[in-house]
Every structure is written in structure tokens, then in C-alpha cells.
Structure 1
């Protein structure tokens, strides 16, 4: 091994804690890149393969009851490769629990080519009159059901016993939720069951009829043009909605998750590698200054400028290489953890942990590039050191008065000697102080995002289910009912407050933008819904016009006062221009709201309601769950409980962000403080001669860090707020109108974050205290310079 290489390893071992902190920063950056990128790529690849093998549909249509032959005729169009008519309906299911969950029945055919089922256990039910059902695997596991068990489907108030013949997964229900408002899977209370089409037609009393269709299109065709043509052909023939794969709920949500992971895998590593580069620059610059005499001797004995400079460049590259290798190994382990975590939410049976070498190559390339350029910039001071000059001590920089001395001499005179030493040290080494303050600011910003994320879901749940939707239960009917039926429900169950609603799908068009939206019509004087605009003002349901959630309004590019075009099967395909009266806050899902009178004017449907919302302290599920016309019952408490089940993931994510920020701050502050102590060794030794104790010298270091802490906290608050806004905007860009995250941060969150940052500062000072104790003051004072 060359002499310079031996010296390189001795240098690292002599300050292993400082260099180890740099390696940790690089390791975190690379681990994030490898783990999240591999998970996202594994999910995307597995998703594409799953779709390909099991023929996931390209288009989905929902109808009122239409003949199967009418849907089959659509397959004659040359752009459509195949079409399958289906029945899709929600019913209650008696699975042996006190409360009956909702089961979405989806018909299947014997020669099914689209949306094939991945069989986990058992067999697909046959068509020979067998009353069999294939259950979605997640629902079966949550309800302790297995192949051979019997369950009762409650349809029109009657029980239809069926036998579980298979546990399956479906590409259509990778993320199985009842509707976009549910947002999170509730496998205990909602599932999917697959039944043969003839049997489902029999039990639903729909002979020869269907209410749903899935399409497989030929490669290269214009999906939008085909969708528009089908919409036009079925304009007045019962078409409720038609969406492409891109807008199908399950696919949209998993695609959103993959996109979010890709964004995070780019942002976090870049930030950490940039910070590591700053710390490496500081360490190597200081090392070059400390090695000035050694560099002169090396040059005098025949080493060239480039050989000596390469010595310090190797140090930067070695730190980068060790950090990268550690990060790659940790990233691969974390990729398995993240992949298994995703399987708790997304039912992807083909998902496997794969290591993509392209990400390893990119990680190594960028790490070595960051560290190499930093090493060159930091070591370029070597070029200006001449051997003869290096034999003499470096001239001290000229003394300068601090700003306080210049502008407020009387105030300066009141400052104690110890504080003068601290302030002059900061003024003399302002770059190092600035790096420490920036480190505190970055630590604060990252931790603030973690604290914000920790409290975010509590805020959303409280606002969505405590302020906006104040009802206790929502009941949906299989067939619309009159107001008399609503009043009968109220009197039978002694419900204090009950409000009917009518829910219908509408096409919302604004210019070239178009979207299918489920509109909910409510009584104008509703007390179970409370709408607020984005300024926090209370908004009432207008007599004419509509209210749009902020996510939906942004998606279709409208604001208050704009006109939109509404059309629906319920309007006979006729379009109506309607004003947007207000854009209202809605945290979960998207929504369009109007008065019942406005809905009546659009659809000519009077005294017709598809459901009710009600306020009741009693548990009304047991009362209504077996009624003939009840499709589903869900309570706000159920939704809150579902969100609570996923709080563990939210807490873990928030905790990870806080720990990440803490490690980052510790690494930066530990290095800046260690460099400060090393550079001021002779100064501290002189102070010992003057009578300062080790404790008093450590107080100087503590005070300097305390000022950096205060400066960092002041900078960190707006930086953290900016980071929260940017991250939320990035998430909003990939989630569309599905989520709305408030960016307001409570004063308590700022205070908690400040406390956490201060705690990590205390840990840093505890770690460097030993460096002050181990200073060899006699050796420093006996150097040739004295």
C-alpha cells in the first residue's frame, strides 16, 4: 500500500466519528433511493404483468338495466376487441357476525376473458346451477371465511344461501373500497363476491339483463373517441357513467401511490447527498489547512500537486463509496419491508421484491459525482501551498471588529469577556457558523414535516366527520324511495334528525375538460352537512347552482361564478348550464352538491331519494340491515375506526421523518462543533493558562451552538412551512381531487419541533464534551509556533 494511502486510513481512523456521521448521511440518502425506487418499480412492473396476464379491462361502463344483447352488440365495433356484460350490485351478507357487512356482487361468465380472477384457494364456481361464490381473499381473511363455508346474501329482504368455492384476487379490486369517499379499505365490512351471471340474474330478478360492462380495446385505438361514441349512442338509453382504465378507482389509487414513491425517491436522496457534500467540503477544507506543513513536506520530497490533491480527493470518494455501499445494502433490506407493507393495502398477488441494478448504478454514480466534485473544490487549496511557505506558520488573518463593536460600542462594553470570545469566534468563522445554523434549519424543517404529518389525519378526521359531515349514519337504498318512506323510517326507529338525499352521476364539462362526478342533492336547510369555502366562511346550499369541492374544481379548472355543463342519463342526455356558486372544502374524495330543487329541475325527478343521512345516538344498523330495500349502511364511527387502523403506518412515517431530521442535524452539528474545537485547540489551551476551567471552555462551545440553534430555529420555521407546502402540492399533483391536505400548521407543532431540535442539540453537545476533556493543552502550547 502506498504511503499516502496509509496516511489516508490513519486520517479516517483519527476522526472516525466525524467521518462516520458523513457516511450515515450518505447511507440514508442511498437507502431511500434504493428502497423506494425498487418498491415503486416492483409495483409498477408487477402491476403491468398482472394486468396483462389477467386481461384487465380498458374501459368500464355502468348502466341502468339494459338487455345483455344490447351490450354484446357493442363488440361488433372494430375498435373493441371484446365486451362482457355484467351485473354489479351491493347487498348485505350474513357471515355469522352481529352486523352484516356489505358485499359487492360481480357477475362472471364461464368463458370470461376480461378481468380474470387469480385463485388463491378453491375453484371458480361452475355454471351448472351451483350456488357458489368466490370471495375476495382480503375480505375472507378479515371475516375468518374459507373454502366450503356458507354465507347468506340478503337481497330484497330474503336470504339466499351460497357456498364459498374460492378465495381470489382481481385486477379490478387491487385496492378494494366501496367508493372514492371511503378512501381506505375496510376488509371487515366491505368485500367483493363473484357469482355466475345466470345465478345473479336469477337472484336479482334481472333475466337477460345487465347493468355493467367491461371492454377490452384493440391496441393503438383512441380510447377517448370510443368512449365518446358509446356515450353518444347510449345518451338516452340508460348509460350512467363510462370511464377508461386511467380513471378506474383501484387503478387510479395504486397509480397515485407509485407516482408518490417515485417523487419521494428523487427528492430525499438529492437533499441528503447535497448536505453530505457540504459537510465533506467543510471537513476536507479544514483538513487541508491543518495539514499545511505536511503538504509542504510532501511536495518537497517529490510529490506533485495532483498527487497530493488526489490524496484528499480519495478521502471524499472513499467516504462516498462506503456510504453508498452501506446505503445500497440497507436499501435492499428496506425494499422488502416496504414491499410487504404495500401488500397490506394493495392486493397484488404477483408482487415480488426485485433488485434493479439500474438504481444501484445511478446511486453510485451520483454519490461519487457529488463527493468527487466536492473533494476537488475542497482540496484545490493544495495547489497554492508552496513547500518553502509551508515551513513557516500561516499568517493569522487581520483582526476585525464585529458588527456589535462597530455599531453599538456601549452595548459591547457591557458584554462579559466569555460572551465576547463567543461572538468574536462566530464573526471570525462565520461560514462554519452559517453551516451549523443551516443544519439546524434543515433539521427543524424535516422534523416539522414529521410533526405536521403526525397530527394531519387527526385534523382531517375531525374536520371531515366532525365539521363537514356531521351525521352519524348514511343509508343507501337499492331502489329510490319517496319522502313517505323516509318519514316512516324516522318514526319506526325514533330517529331525531333524518335528511333524504338523491345521488346521481353527472358528466361535468368545462371547455375541453370533462369528468364524471357523483352529485349529491340535499335539502337546502340541511343541518347534517356544513359547507365552508376556502376562506372559512359558511356556505349554504344555493337555490340554483352547485357547490364543488376544491379538488374537483381545480381538476376541471373552474372557480366561483363559472358556468359548467351538466348532463346525465337521468336528464335524458340533455345538457344544462349551471353556475358554480362556491368552491368548498372537502378533505376526503371529491364532491358536487346541490339542492333537491335544483336536482328536480335538472332531472324532472320529484319525491325521489336514493338514501338518507341521519343523526342518532342509538345503533340503528341492527334495525335496518335486513330490510328489503337497504343496499348499505355505514357510520361515521366506522370510517373513523378504519382510519384509526392505519394510524400505525402514519405514526411510523412521521416518526421516520423526525428521526431522519434528528440524524441529519446531529451529523451536521457534530462535525461543525468538532471542527471548531480542533481549530481552536491553541486558543482553548491559552484560555486554560489564563485560568479557564474545562467546564468554562465547554460553555463557550455551548453558547456558540446555542446561538446557531436560535438562528436555525428562526430560519427553520419558514423553511419548514415552505417544505410542508411544497410536499403537499407535490402530493396533490399526483392525487388529483381525491385528497385535500390543509397546510395550516398549529403553534403547538412549531413548539414541539423546536423542543425536538433542542433535544438533538443537547445530544450533540453531550457527544462532543469528551473532545474538550481530551484536548492536550500542554502539547498544543509546546508546538513550534510558541
Structure 2
């Protein structure tokens, strides 16, 4: 071991407190990056492998009814490699042990098991047998949520007839990685499931022999998806085509892809903050170390050590510190990355979810951490290298003091001597003070943005489930029914209020922009599904025109007063020009609303209903559920309370883990910044503080001078950090502003208070450690002057 290596070990031991703090901050940055990138790589690889192996389709389309021979014409469209036609219908399912009616999505599959699009990964049991019309396979998640086993029986009303369905197998499909109905935000696997049934059996049950109402297409490599969709829509228009769409807009894929994208974004933002602070602290540490070791540097150079040897000596110190932080961060990040990846299995369902760590991730982690460290250490190392031996042998020139701004204004009498000392020192080193404030404010900001997620969730729940949705039950009919259906619903036991709605698929156009969605007609006097603006003021449905959610307006680029072209994809398929009369604020999905009478008039139909919102007596729920299970006209039942419970259960668990990790990381930052700044200040001003002690200042007063400076910087950093936190929350709100859901920008006073409290506690702990060192200050040793 060389002399420089022994010196290096002594330096590390002497600076162990500061080194540990920097190691922890580096570890937090690397851990956050490795966690998110490893989860990103694992999900991306698993998704792509699953899609390729089970032939996930590229284009999807639903329609009213088309003859099977049309399949050959679809196959002939340029760019189409394979076509799969199906029968798909939603029905009410009676699940053993489940009081509420569940919704089952019946999807036809070939009786034989040829290679097919959206292939099934068999999880348990077997494939259906040809000719057995009662045999079905169910999604593994639906079976698990309801404790269903092979051989169990489900009851279903299929095309008006009660039928028992016997489970022979469970499976997964790439079409339902995120198994969700189109109107939900989070899955409810207990009350919604996918059921695969033989093509002949399902076709016969719904009078679809030799016909289909759903088709999936796999495209050839390099094919133009828009061109295929255009020709497919034109071909299927006479058969009630509801508009084809690509994989990007398939709801399961969309949720999964948005999650993968957000993981990658988080993997960039968080490490930048942590490693930037680590670079700043390393710069402070090395700058002070070079300053206190001027005479040692001079001796080393006098004994023949070159500038490169001295520079490499200090770079090795930085490298060892960062390497320790990187290794700790890698270990923690891999552990957390696997936990995060496994957690996704609760929501995204794959046959095999493999945690993969690319070797390049380790290399990237080392490169990023070293780059941050060397950037922070560059100036200090350069100072050590350039320091001539003769100059290094002399003590540092004394600092130049000048009147502070407070003294220039004549306000010095308002401060005690200790207070004036604090102000002078802060003003003498503005860059150092500014960087300390920045580090502390970032810690506050991370806490604010982490806890703002809870505020956003609480706000979303309050608005969506208590202000907008007032109904207890939402019913959807298998086919549009006449207006008299709402009076029939009043005869259900315990029903208090019924409000019908009409939903029609439509293509909305404005200039060159198009959106494939629908129109929802609500009664003008309705109160169970309320429409509100961004200030939560109630909106009244106009007698003419359409109200758009603000997100849909952004997608189409329209403002109130503009005119939309509405092409209805149902019935007579009318095309109308409809004015936009207002914007609605909603946080889930996008929608276009019309007055129910106006929509019926646009459709040129008598009063027709697609479903209804109900409020019911709680005591009558069991009786209502029993009747709905055997009502042929009902295709699905959604319960507001169940949706709320599932949303809170899904979001709250993840949010608690996330906010805990954020609080831990931010506390480490705050502790590291405060402790390092105070520890360096103590080493820089040891002679000054010892002199004050000899002049009669008490330990408390000396401690106040040192820690008061840190308290002043913290006092400035807290409001700045709160503002930065709000800004980061605003950026997160923009990042999560998707078609599927939006993230409200809400930051409560409690969130600010919690962030301030955590930072204050971290500062008190680090301050207590510094006070212990002040009480042990050796006055004689500190006052020795270097010769």
C-alpha cells in the first residue's frame, strides 16, 4: 500500500459522517434509477414476448352483424396477413357465492385449437371439447377472484335463455393483460371476467350462425395501419361497423403502454435530482479538504509527486465514495425493482412475468454516478492540481469582510452580535449558500410532490364518485329499448329514482382531426349523472348542441362555438353538424354529452334507451340483484360503491408504498445536505468559533452561530421548496394527462405541513450531531497556527 493510499484511508475515516451521507444520497439516486429502469425493461420485454408468442392483433373492429364469407374480402385488403372473426357479447353472470350480478364477456373460440390471433395461454384444466355447448374457459383472474375451480358452473342469461356454463379451464389472453371494462379505471376481477366459448355454441345461442360481430387483424410488416383501417371501415359500413382502431387504442394495451412510459420518465427525473445533489456535496467536501490540506499537498509535490498523482489521489476518494453509493444503490434498486415488477402482476396479467436486468443497466448506473461525481469534483481537484508548492505552504489568505446589506441599511442594531456574524458569513459565500438552499428546497419539493398524489386521489374520489356520480347502479341494455323501459325499471324492488341514458357510437370530426368515440344522451332534468365545469359548477344540458369533456376538446382542437361533424355509427348512420356549446370537467375517460331528446332527434328515432342510472333502497339491494341476474335485457351492471372500493383498494396500497419511499429518500437528502453543510462550516470556522469561546461566548451561543446559519438557509429553502414542489406536481399532472385518465393538480396544506415537518426533523437530527462536536471542540488544538 502506497503512502497516498494510506492517506486516502485516513481521510475517509476522518470524514466518515459526511462520506456516509453522500453515499446514501448516491444510493438513493441509483436505486430509483435501477428500480424504474429494471421494472421498465422487465415489463417491456414481457409485453413484447407475450404479444409475439400469442399473436396479439394489430387492428380491431366491432360491428352489428356480417356474414362469414366477408372474411375473405377482409383478408384481401392489402397489408392484412391474417383475419380472425368472432362473436363477442356481454351477458349477466350468476357466480356462485357472489351476491351481486357479474358481467361476463363471452368470446367465441374455434372448437379445434388452431393457431389464432389473441391466443389463449392455458393456465389450468383443458381446452373445450368440440360439440360440448356448455363448456367454457374463464380468465384466470376472474376465477381466482371468485374462488372458481375446474368443474364449477356459472349461470347466464344468453339471448333470453338461461344456460349453465361448466368451467373446464382457465386461461390468459394478450387482449386482456389489463382485464377491464371500457368504462372502468381499475379492474374489478370479481364482477367482470372474460369467458371463452365454442364458436358454434355461441353463434347458435345469439343467432349468429355463419356470421360474426367482431374481427381482429394481424398486419404484414411495413403495412400502413391507417390505410387498412380506412378500407376496413368502408367495407364494414353496410354491416353496422363501429369503426376500426389500431393496437394503440386497444384499452388493455393502452393502459399497459402508458404505465411503461411513465416508468421510463420517472427513471430519468428522480436520479437527476439525487445525483445532482450528490455532486454538489462532493464539491463542498473536496473543496474544504483541499483547503485544509494545502500544506500536505505542498509536501507531496515537494517530495516528487506529480500533479497527476495528486489529482488522482483526490479522484480516488471521490470514486470510492461514489462506488460505495452505486453498489448500495444497485443492490437496493434490484431488490426494489423486482418487488415493483412483481407488484404489477396484481394488475397486469402475463403467463410469465420475468424480472430481467440488462447488463447495460449496471454499466449505465456506474457511468451516470461517476459522471455526476466527477462533475462535482472537477473544480476542487483542479484547484489541488494547480496549487504551486510554495503557495500551498502558506496559509490561505484571510477572507475579505465588508459591511453586509443589513449594515449598509443601518439595521444592524436589530440583530445580536451572533446574528450579525451569521448574516456576514452567508453574504460572504453566496454561491455556497445558494447551492445549500437549492439542495434543501429539492428535498422539500420531493416530499411535496410525493404526498400530492394522495391529495389528487382524494380530490378525484370526491369529485368523480360523490359529485359527478350520484347513482347507486348503472344498467346497460343488450339492445336499445323503447322509452317505456324506464317505467318497467321503477317496478324493481326498492328503486327510488330512474334516469335513462342513450349511448351511440360516433366518429367526431373537426377540420383534419378525428376521434372515434360516442355520444351520450342524458335527460335535461337529470341529477344522477351530473355535469360540471372546471370550477365544479353544475352545467345544464342545452336543448341543442353538444358538451365535450375538456380532454376531448383538446384532442379535437375545438372550443365552445365551434361546429363538430358527427357521424353516427348505428342505425341509419346519420351525419350532422353539431355546435359545441360548453366544456365538461371529468377525470376519467372522455365523453360527448347531448340532451337525450336532441340525441333521439338526431338519430331520427322515437325515444330509445341504452341503459339507466338507478338509486335504490340499501335494504332492497339483494332482491334487485336476484332479479337483474335473470333479466334478459340487461347486459351489464355496475355498482358505484364497488367501483369506489376497488379504486381505493388498488390505488391506496401502491400510493402508501410510494409516499413512504419518497419520504425516506427526501429525509436522506435533507439530512445529507444539512449535515454536510454544517460539518464543513464547523471545519472551516473552527478557529473562529474557538476564538469566540475564549472571548466568553457560551457553547449555546457558538452553536447558535453555526446552526443558526443552517436554520436561516433552511428557512429560505422551505418556501422555495414548496413552490418547486407545486411546480413538480404540475409537471406530473401534465405527464399523466392522458385520454384514459387525468391527474388533478391539488396540493393541500397538510401536504406542505408534512413536508416541512419531515425536513425540520431531519435538520434537528443533523444539528444535534453537530452540537455534540461543538461541545468537544479542543480550543488549544484549533487555535494552533500553521507555520
Q: With structure 2 as the length reference, what TM-score do the two structures score?
A: 0.96
- CA deviations on 1:761-785 (whole Å, 9 max, x unpaired) are 2222233332223322221123447
Which residue matches 1:593?
A: 593
Partner SS state of residue 61, structure 1: strand
Name the stretch that deviates more: 380-389 or 470-479.
Answer: 380-389
Counterpart CA distance in 2 for 1:134 and 1:203 is 17
Is the contact made by 1:60 and 1:245 (CA closer than 8 Å) also made in structure 2?
A: yes
Secondary structure at the counterpart of residue 761 of structure 2: helix
State how far apart, in whole Å, the 1-side matches of 2:663 and 2:37 are: 21
Equivalent of 2:283 in 281, 284, 287 = 281
Q: Which residue of 1 aligns with 2:732?
A: 727
Q: Give the equivalent residue in structure 2 for 1:524.
A: 524
| CA distance in structure 2 between the aligned counterparts of 1:219 and 1:432, rounded to whole angstroms | 57
Name 2:694's counterpart in structure 1.
689
Mean CA deviation greater in 257-266 or 651-660: 651-660
- Residue number in structure 2 paired with 1:153: 156
1:89 corresponding residue in structure 2: 89
Establish whether residue 102 from structure 1 lines up as the match of residue 103 from structure 2.
Answer: yes
RMSD: 1.8
How far the C-alpha of 1:156 sits from its partner, in A, is 4.9
Equivalents in 2 of 1:126, 1:549: separation in Å?
47
**Secondary structure, counterpart of 2:107 in structure 1:** strand
| Matched residue SS, 1:354 | coil
Distance 2:615 2:781 in 1: 80
Q: In the alignment, which residue of structure 2 is the partner of 1:443? A: 443
Asked if structure 2 preserves the Cα contact closer than 8 Å seen for 1:554 and 1:737, the reply is no
Q: TM-score scaled by structure 1?
A: 0.96
* Cα offset, 1:233, TM superposition: 2.1
The secondary structure found in structure 1 opposite 2:63 is: strand
Q: For the structure 1 residues 706 and 740, does the alpha-carbon distance in structure 2 shift closer, same or farther, using more than 3 Å as the test?
A: same
Task: Select 2:643's aligned residue among 621, 624, 639.
Answer: 639
Measured after TM superposition, the shift of residue 397 of structure 1 is 1.6
The superposition leaves residues 270-289 of structure 1 with CA deviations (integer Å, 9 ceiling, x where unpaired) of 22211111111111111111
1:121 to partner: Cα distance = 0.9
Equivalent residues in 2 for 1:539-618, closer than 5 Å: 539-570=539-570, 572-618=572-618
Counterparts of 1:218-617 in structure 2, within 5 Å, are: 218-407=220-409, 409=410, 411-570=411-570, 572-617=572-617
CA distance in 1, matches of 2:228, 2:206: 30
Q: Cα gap change, 1:612/1:513 in structure 2, threshold over 3 Å: closer, same or farther? A: same
Deviations 1:499-527 (A, max 9, x none): 10011111112233222113211112221
Alpha-carbon contact 2:78-2:228 (below 8 Å) kept: no
How many equivalent pairs are there? 779
Name the counterpart of 2:203: 201
CA distance in 1, matches of 2:66, 2:746: 49
Partner SS for 1:346:
coil
- Residue 121, structure 1, aligned to residue 124, structure 2: yes
Report SS of the residue matched to 2:515. Answer: strand
Question: 2:617 and 2:720 mapped to 1: Cα distance?
Answer: 49
- Structure 1 residue 142 corresponds to structure 2 residue 145: yes
Equivalent residue for 1:717, pick from 717, 722, 733: 722
CA shift for structure 1 position 753: 2.2
| Structure 1 residue 676, shift from structure 2 partner | 0.9
Distance 1:71 1:595, change over 3 A: farther
Contact kept, 8 Å, 1:236 with 1:569, in 2: the verdict is no
Q: Name 1:737's counterpart in structure 2.
A: 739
Q: 683-692 or 710-719: which moved more?
A: 683-692
CA distance in 1, matches of 2:694, 2:741: 65
User: In 1, Cα distance between the equivalents of 2:545 and 2:769?
Assistant: 65
Name the residue aligned to 1:678.
683
Q: Distance in 2 between matches of 1:363 and 1:54?
A: 34
Mapped partners of 2:372, 2:321: distance in 1: 11
- 2:671 maps to 666
Question: Which residue does 2:708 correspond to in 1?
Answer: 703
Aligned residue for 1:479, secondary structure, equals strand
Residue 396 (structure 1) shift: 0.6
Q: Secondary structure at the match of 2:239?
A: coil
Given that residues 468 and 529 in structure 1 are in contact (C-alpha distance below 8 angstroms), is that contact kept between their aligned partners in structure 2? yes
- How far 1:536 sits from its partner (Å)? 4.4
C-alpha displacement of 1:613: 0.8
CA deviation after TM superposition for structure 1 residue 141, in Å? 0.6
Partner of 1:166: 169
| CA deviation string 1:230-276 (max 9, x = no partner) | 11222232112311111100011101111111111122112221111
Of 429-438 and 244-253, more deviation after overlay is shown by 429-438
Distance 1:383 1:182 in 2: 63
Tell me how far apart the structure 1 counterparts of residues 100 and 534 of structure 2 sit (CA, whole Å). 38
Give how far 1:640 is off.
Answer: 0.5
